[in-house]
Structure 1
């Protein structure tokens, strides 16, 4: 299994686990069998929140130079401002698949100018541009944001894409004091499983999924991010993924949601606490996900 680290802001240098991965990594050619790739993206302009066309091509070239040809493995790519990287990764999926996103935001807004790729609209672009996408499930979105994006898109000319999206609202996965809280809400769980059913060549309902995790879906008790956060707990996150893995093939997983580079502390964490928390969570997720990939 390959782990890829895309470092845009340098924040990973403050996390012991990520420092360890970087120390074991190498930027390699397609003929190498390296398991850890580190790609420094700090010098690429036009990437913060919005990724312009030139930056997209630069990133794709660095993928090619590193021998990356598919979306398999685990991919880390900095804070939530770079969540559009999920679009670039899923562009490499060349088979029917579903997209499962953990995020406190729907990331389905139309761009404010042009057709530029953005952290707030990348899911919409996947639905519009990827011919292999079957459907999308977004888990942990703030309830009011679900209502707002439904209203916004239902009045637009591209309202049809909503038929491919299932929202599992934050209130449906909120921590209830038990590690199996999500599976004990059968309505939410069955809606998610039903939406992910897609035919395969064998005629079975098992399909392929790509998972994107923005840690801002989690409570501040588990992560320190640069966006407002939800209330999902890590046990529920892992439970959902493990449940999906019993009936689906996981193509790849990406993880974003680090603290801002200029974070100076807040009511939840000091800078040192935030780095320790995020480092521990990245390690926990990497170790948990590895057997599924």
Structure 2
């Protein structure tokens, strides 16, 4: 199976980072695609799909800032077998859609959960407990049916910090290949500077949580998003780019080593 590592450059944020040097990393300039920042129109979705399809999903893919995290949904559409989606994120990305005919960075995971016929389980790791409760809310939540509840396993930031997350590990189905998606807003600002509110996780803890999935040896693909805000003052921007560049390189090397891609 061919492995292609991708950089999807929507905002040129990667131009000022120390991008991992690898002759199998393909840089896809997506900056000319309109109607795709935060919300993605059908036309933009079709264009993004057409650009990534020739490369497949096997590999490590950088998706730009969290504004483009919905690309994970487009990526996983290429999977035509039962699979689990492992999502590391400070947010649930399961809000009720604001605009029905457009996918957003805030609702894409909920749409994958509801509409992808091959998805067997979605493992959501990192949001705060109050945000997880909201997606199960009978009045406002997205995950209200028994079928969807059985497909979703959540580990809140509080459960991870207290060590109580181990009580749910038995709920994870281990007989399916996995696709891993990492939003660096799960990390403390010491390790990443993103354009959304962030968690308090350290990079070593994130790597430790990734290990059981990587050791399964059945990885379909991995993506990483969570770059900094465009338009920052130059000193802060350069500092953010240095932090993010170092973390991206560390994650790339770590994932390359343990995923054997």
- Alignment counterpart, residue 86 of structure 1, candidates 72, 80, 98: 72
Give the RMSD, CA atoms, in angstroms.
2.1
Equivalent runs, 1:30-49 vs 2, <5 Å: 35-49=24-38
Q: 1:278 to 1:103 in 2, by over 3 A?
A: same
Separation of aligned partners in 2, 1:229 and 1:258: 12
Verify the 8 A CA contact 2:153 2:172 in the aligned structure 1.
Answer: no
1:196 correspondence with 2:185: no
Verify the 8 A CA contact 1:211 1:254 in the aligned structure 2.
Answer: yes
SS of the residue 1:72 aligns to: coil
Verify the 8 A CA contact 2:96 2:141 in the aligned structure 1.
Answer: no
Q: How many residues are aligned here?
A: 256
Separation of aligned partners in 1, 2:50 and 2:219: 25
Deviation at 1:164, TM superposition (A): 1.4
Separation of aligned partners in 2, 1:93 and 1:251: 8
1:140 correspondence with 2:109: no
Residue ranges of structure 2 left out of the alignment (5+ in a row): none
1:126 correspondence with 2:117: no
SS of the residue 1:114 aligns to: coil
- Alignment counterpart, residue 271 of structure 1, candidates 234, 237, 245: 237
Could you list the structure 1 runs, at least 4 aligned residues long, displaced by more than 4 angstroms after superposition.
Answer: 152-158
- Alignment counterpart, residue 57 of structure 2, candidates 45, 68, 71: 71
SS of the residue 1:207 aligns to: coil
Match of 1:290 in 2: 256
Verify the 8 A CA contact 1:8 1:40 in the aligned structure 2.
Answer: yes
Deviations 1:242-278 (A, max 9, x none): 122233512111000000111237xxx8222111100
Match of 1:103 in 2: 89
Separation of aligned partners in 2, 1:147 and 1:276: 35
1:56 correspondence with 2:45: yes
Residue ranges of structure 1 left out of the alignment (5+ in a row): 26-34, 177-184, 198-204
Deviations 1:17-45 (A, max 9, x none): 22x64xx66xxxxxxxxx11111111111
- Alignment counterpart, residue 233 of structure 1, candidates 196, 202, 212: 202
Deviation at 1:240, TM superposition (A): 1.2
Deviation at 1:139, TM superposition (A): 0.8
Separation of aligned partners in 2, 1:271 and 1:157: 38
Match of 2:9 in 1: 7
Asked which structure has the greater CA Rg, the reply is 1
Give the TM-score of the pair, scaled to structure 2: 0.91
